[in-house]
Copies of this chain bind each other. A is one copy, B any other.
Amino acid sequence: MRLAALHKDFVLHFGEMGSRWGINRTVGQIYAVLFLSEAPLNAEQITTALGISRSNTSMGLKELQSWNLVRLRHLEGDRRDYFTTPDDLWEIVRILVAERRKREIDPTLTKLRELEMQGPQGDSYAEARIAELRELIEMMTQFHDEMNRMETERLVQLMTMGRKLGTLLDKTQKLNLWGKAK
């Protein structure tokens, strides 16, 4: 791996974490290299930097593209594909959350609804448990939709509010700034 010490350490860490994040080592490393590089990189550069096969790089980039985690760019007078990560880290977070939801949550929500559609099967505990889980996931996904609609500045504002958030719910409720939450 042909990288400066700082990059190397960072890249190896992302590789190790990859499996915990649901991607493989190589994909994690490719992302790490792109993340630290100001200039867009082409597949050949990534291959050299990481010391992996060209085809592995190709597959890794495909995977990252399916996650919407890299952007494809073209440089004038060069027909190779160059890749970058978004400059805005909040953008990256939004993408990550959206993709994980799509892969890890949505299919289960669909399945739960499908199971409920089949009507009572004679195990009321299990049925109640499934309904409760479906409701919970719906609430969370709706909340995610709302947060997603918010501009980054607002989101940061919300997150930095910290412990004031609880107090706020109190005060505003007393002030009747909105109708009673269901």
Q: Which residues of A contact B (CB under 8 A)?
A: 4-7, 9-10, 13, 17, 20-22, 35-38, 89-90, 93, 103-104, 107-108, 111, 115, 118, 121-123, 125-127, 129-130, 132-133, 136, 139-140, 142-143, 146-147, 149-150, 154, 156-166, 168-169, 171-172, 175, 177-178, 181-182
Contacts and interface: CB of A to CB of B under 8 A. Distances in A.
Given A108-B13, A133-B89, A150 B166 contact: yes
A160 to B, nearest CB: 5
A169 B162 contact: no
A77 to B, nearest CB: 24
Contact of A104 (B6, B20, B89, B160): B20
Copies of this chain, tallied across the complex: 2
**Interface residues of A: mostly helix, strand, loop or mixed?**
helix
Given A7-B126, A20-B22, A164 B139 contact: no
